[in-house]
Structure 1
Amino acid sequence: MSRKRQAALRSTGARSTDPEDYQRVPRAVAAMPKDFAAGHEIAPHRHARAQLIYATVGTMRVSTDAAVWVVPPQRALWMPAGIRHSITMSGDVTMRTLYLRHDAAAGMPEVCRVLQVSPLLRELIVRATELPMHYDERGAAGHVVALILDELHHEQSLPLHLPMPRDRRLRRLCTTLLEQPGDPRTLEEWAHSANASPRTLARLFVAETGLTFGAWRQQARVLEAMGRLGGGQAVTEVALDLGYDSVSAFSAMFRRASGVSPSAYRPSR
């Protein structure tokens, strides 16, 4: 951001919705509020600052070359500086993202991690997006930012990611399953369309993702279910959309994978 533009934003008190304007703000944390319509896609990009990707409403799917994460309102994704990623909105999204200066991000994970968002951290993030971009670091705003950094450094990291293969045949298969998680095709059927043997695909799946085909698909469905349930979608609707014949079968799978029932995962209204 040019000095002229910085001065203009500072004098008017306006809050930009251009991420580039937040990369060189002379503050430890820069908070950007921005709303997106359902289905909106942010093309692959990277930032100079580390980013906490979070939305108070709606679910996002964040993708890098290596993995995919589903991020509902109860979660946030820590994105280290310089990592190329894209974001797809599942439903209308109220994004409230943070950009951390290098020194403020010290001690945070050096790889992408899903973080639990406590009620306190949620309110602090919302408050940060209401502050001027050039907030007074010695006043109340500085205390808000200090609390955010303290909360971030103590939030639990959750293993909620989906490794993506590099083999073009597997990547095409996995991309289709991410778009249509209820697709019931077996590995044998996928192998036929990929012009490869089932044994070859099975071996590649384990070699490139560390998971079998069945385990990868189940993890994809779990993450998709978390996003939909976290957004308030009905359990029965989620179960049928994800290809399960019954709600009980879906609930049993979800409980094994997450430790809680689907209904317990939905937000209280």
Structure 2
Amino acid sequence: MLKHAENTTNCDYSEWENGAALIVKEWQHERSDFSHLDQRPHNWHKHYRGQLLCIDEGLIQVKTDEGTWILPPHRAGWIPPSAMHSVYFCGSLKGRSLLFTPESCNQFPTKPCVIEMSDVLKVLSNRASTWSKTEEISAQHSRVLAVISDEICTSPHESLYFPLPKDPRLQKVTQAILVDPNSKNSVEHWARIGAISSRTLRRLIRNELNMSFNEWRQQILLIHALEMMARGESIGDVAYALGYSTPSNFIAMFRRVYGESPTRYFSNRGI
């Protein structure tokens, strides 16, 4: 699936019950490595160890029972031990997985989340990638692990999450929009797919997801925009595909939601 930077390419450390409390595995792939997988999610699965997926380049989408999480560059996604999930990749990828034994991540969030990848967390995770994966960590490494754990617990959570509704009617509408996110159809059109009125659709979204229809729709479009940009499409093409009259209008909306322009959002940060 991924081209590992280590020699033990076939070793799935995520299932190791023994070994170090923290195992770091680096990986990367080019878009051509599995372009046939870009639009196909991997099977649902779980791991013995908790995972922190740290993204340097590219974008990963993680689906759980509760919703969809987007991991763009310089962010990290936390998946607790034994949490069912499915992933797919957008564009070229480079990053690392921090794999924690269940007993070493009791203080971490109990549900999947996306956090900002701080400089401290990036530097220390790179350092931990050189540690032995089979031996217990030393006292010195334990102190580094404690700092890594603190960074994970205190890093700000990012709103890169699209919740999956529970109501079956709203689920039908959600799937239809995800299949055709660029559609300019009205709220009445989407309501008919769920066999409900537009008023009921708005009420369901407000009650279940605590947002308006327009906010919900915008969140779907932003996820789609992130995926398009991760595949290398220009901001202009993304803006027009999402129905914006000019790229500047799209950039203004993006900055309002994420606090920075799309270019800066995907830019590499020097350490």
TM band (smaller chain)? 0.7 to 0.9
Partner Cα distance (1:18, 1:194) in 2: 42
* 1:148-163 equivalence runs, <5 A: 148-163=148-163
C-alpha contact 2:90 2:230 (8 A) present in aligned 1? no
Which letter maps to 1:105?
C
The answer as to whether partners of 2:79 and 2:112 remain within 8 angstroms in 1 is yes
2:42–2:88 contact (8 Å) kept in structure 1: yes
Residue 109 of structure 2 contacts residue 153 of structure 2 at CA under 8 Å; is this kept in 1? no
Change (3 A) 1:154 1:174: same
Which residue of structure 2 aligns with residue 225 of structure 1?
Answer: 225
Secondary structure of 1:108's match?
Answer: coil
The answer as to 2:14 corresponding to 1:14 is no
For structure 1, list consecutive stretches of 5 or more residues without a partner in the other structure.
1-12
Aligned pairs for 1:5-154 (under 5 A) are 14=8, 16-22=10-16, 24-35=17-28, 37-38=34-35, 39=38, 41-135=41-135, 137-138=137-138, 145-154=145-154
Question: How many residues are aligned here?
Answer: 256
Partners of 2:162 and 2:68 in 1: CA distance? 5
In structure 1, distance between residues paired with 2:10 and 2:139: 22
Residues 268 and 101 of structure 1: is their aligned pair in 2 closer, same or farther, counting only changes over 3 Å? Answer: closer
CA contact (8 A) 2:19 2:133 kept: no
CA displacement 1:37-60 (0-9 Å, x = unmatched):
341532111223221122322101
SS at match of 2:42: strand
Residue 260 of structure 1: aligned partner = 260
Q: What is the CA–CA distance in structure 1 between the aligned matches of 2:146 and 2:89, rounded to whole Å?
A: 30
- Which residue of structure 2 lines up, in the alignment, with residue 173 of structure 1? 173
Contact between 2:24 and 2:99, CA under 8 Å: does it hold in 1?
yes
Distance 2:266 2:26 in 1: 25
User: What is the TM-score normalised by the length of structure 1?
Assistant: 0.81
Identity %: 30
Partner residue, 1:198: 198
Q: Does 1:251 align with 2:251?
A: yes
* Structure 2: 5+ residue stretches without partners: 1-6
1:42 aligned counterpart, secondary structure: coil
SS of residue in 1 equivalent to 2:165? coil
RMSD between aligned alpha carbons? Answer: 2.8
Q: Is the 8 A contact 1:232 1:266 kept in 2?
A: no
Q: Where does residue 7 of structure 1 map in the other structure?
A: none
TM-score (norm. length: structure 2): 0.80
| 8 Å Cα contact 1:222-1:257 kept in structure 2 | no
Change in Cα spacing, 1:135 to 1:143, as seen in structure 2 (3 Å) is farther
| Shift in CA distance, 208/150, structure 1 to aligned 2, threshold 3 Å | closer
CA pair 156-135 structure 1, distance change in 2 beyond 3 A: farther
Report the Cα distance in structure 2 between the residues aligned to 1:172 and 1:20, rounded to whole angstroms.
Answer: 34
Distance 1:101 1:187 in 2: 46
Q: What is the identity, as a one-letter code, of the residue corresponding to 1:112?
A: P
Cα distance in structure 2, aligned partners of 1:214 and 1:230: 24
Counterpart Cα distance in 1 of 2:231 and 2:179: 18
